[in-house]
Amino acid sequence: MFDSPSSHVERRLNGLEKHLKQENPVLLQVVQSFRDLDSIAYRMGILDRTESFATRVPWWPMISILGTFSSGKSTFINHYLGQKIQRTGNQAVDDKFTVICFSKEENVRTLPGLALDADPRFPFYQISRELEHVSAGEGRRIDAYLQLKTCLTEKLRGKILIDSPGFDADAQRNATLRISDHIMDLSDLVLVFFDARHPEPGAMKDTLDHLVRNTIHRSDSNKFLFVLNQVDCTVREDNLEDVVAAWQRALAQSGLTAGHFYQIYNTAAASPIENEALRNRYESKLAEDMREVEERIHRVEVERAYRIIGVLEYTAKLIQNECAPQLRDWIARWRKMVLIADGVLFGALAVGITTLVLLHNPPLAAWLDMGLWKAGTPWQSVLVDLLGGMSLIALVSLHLLIRRVAARILGKQIVKNTKQPDLRDYLKKGLERNTNPLYSVFHSRPAGWGRLAQMKLQRVLKNSDIYVQNLNDQFTNPSGRGDLPNPKVLLDTH
């Protein structure tokens, strides 16, 4: 089938649909709308057939825990899950990214990174390819970077939790940072942990730059929560406010002027606080901040469903309102460049040949006067055909060269002038498709952007509104009558 995705993308979508069939029927319908968008994008040439818009968004609510060594990430995870699933200690105890998910088995199981790399249901499907691009040979060492742990707890049902290795010193390998960036892109919530026991946050500039500076300009920057852990170390000097202020200044130097720290510590490992008033102040702040953090984690599952539908609607509108019109303009610029260049070069070539024959080639004129160019000369037609054929080949080759050069020039302009990464990628690929030699230089409408494609896109946008209504019906009823059943909204599939 012309517009079907490649086999590995198809397997991933099928696995996703199988999971969502029981997990969330509303999102199951959203997958089909992503398939419709894919078919439009394939025909327009703005999406590779080895990709799908659906695989660019994580479908499982995902919470990642990032931070420095010994900042209490694993201790927090054990406390949140209610069982000791991660090792803890003052030194680096784990140098792998640990993906923790729900299991019906009581015993915790640890599986190798291959379990994540080869399973299309997980957001790390074929991450080994990315590692290979970062550093040759690292893709084969996937087990050195990832592991999967299963855990029986309702807090993990329908979610994925990720514990990361620390970012200090030697841990800042390219492959590790590449996985960290991948995780930050996919996560619905990112908890960034820092250790209050280190009073010199300025000495951790590289870590702060990677975990903070690279997040402040993101459209989803609100999903990053900064956690200052082990604040009980400030009890003796009673200088919690000073320590927090020092870290906030460090965040400000990295560009995050509105940085807020959740202040927590592990009561089981903390030294007893003798002063009752001081103990109450610390415990009250701990309870308040832990409640807020856990509430954000709890909201992730609901927020994820709306976010996925938002991505669907955003992508559809981006194609309709930005990509197609701008691609039409870029094709028009390309056509103008090619026609002008053709006219100039072909005109110059014709003038040059005429001048050469008539003015600068006396031997040829003498040869013609000798009567060798007489009608009926046996080799005359052969010579004419040969010269004509060679001229035609030269002209076609020159025209194709002009097309390629013009497309390359405009492609660089797209990269330079288009700030939005997704749109830049779509326009560049779309221009390459529309300047293919198979397409006439006189065509004006982007390939694949016809009436049927526009109707299909409108159907996707219409259905995205219906998906939101169906989600709303799970949580509220605008009529205020709780006794009414949720309405069954039929999707437009025609």
pLDDT at 219: 63
Using CA atoms, how far apart are residues 284 and 309, in angstroms rounded to an integer?
A: 38
Q: What is the pLDDT, as a whole number, of residue 486?
A: 45
CB 369: neighbour CB atoms within 10 A? 9
Domain match, 67 and 140 both? yes
DSSP code, position 150? E
| 239 and 368 share one domain | no
| Among candidate residues 451, 469, 488, the one where a domain is terminated | 451
183 located within any domain: yes
Q: Are 180 and 262 part of one and the same domain?
A: yes
Q: What is the pLDDT of residue 1?
A: 41
Q: Is residue 17 part of a domain?
A: no
Q: The whole model's pTM is what? A: 0.65
Establish if 459 belongs to a structural domain.
Answer: no
Domain range for 348 is 320-451
Amino acid 490: pLDDT: 44
Count of domains for the chain = 2
On whether both 242 and 366 belong to a single domain, the answer is no
Closest CA to 165 of 65, 60, 296: 65
Evaluate whether residue 345 is within a structural domain.
yes
Q: Is residue 160 part of a domain?
A: yes
> In this structure, what CATH number is given to the domain that contains residue 262?
3.40.50.300
| Cα–Cα nearest to 441, from 481, 396, 479 | 396
What is the pLDDT at residue 326? Answer: 95
Average pLDDT by stretches of 10, the chain with 494 residues: 63 80 81 94 92 82 82 84 74 70 84 78 72 69 82 83 70 64 81 76 60 65 83 79 78 65 81 83 89 88 84 93 95 93 81 59 52 50 55 78 92 90 91 90 89 95 92 68 45 52
Q: Kindly state whether residue 73 falls inside one of the protein's structural domains.
A: yes
Residues 259 and 398 in one domain: no
Is residue 288, in this structure, part of any structural domain at all?
no
Domain end call among 208, 241, 271:
271
Whether residue 230 contacts residue 195, with contact meaning beta carbons closer than 8 Å, is answered with: yes
Residue type for 427, please? Answer: L
Domain for residue 493, yes or no? no
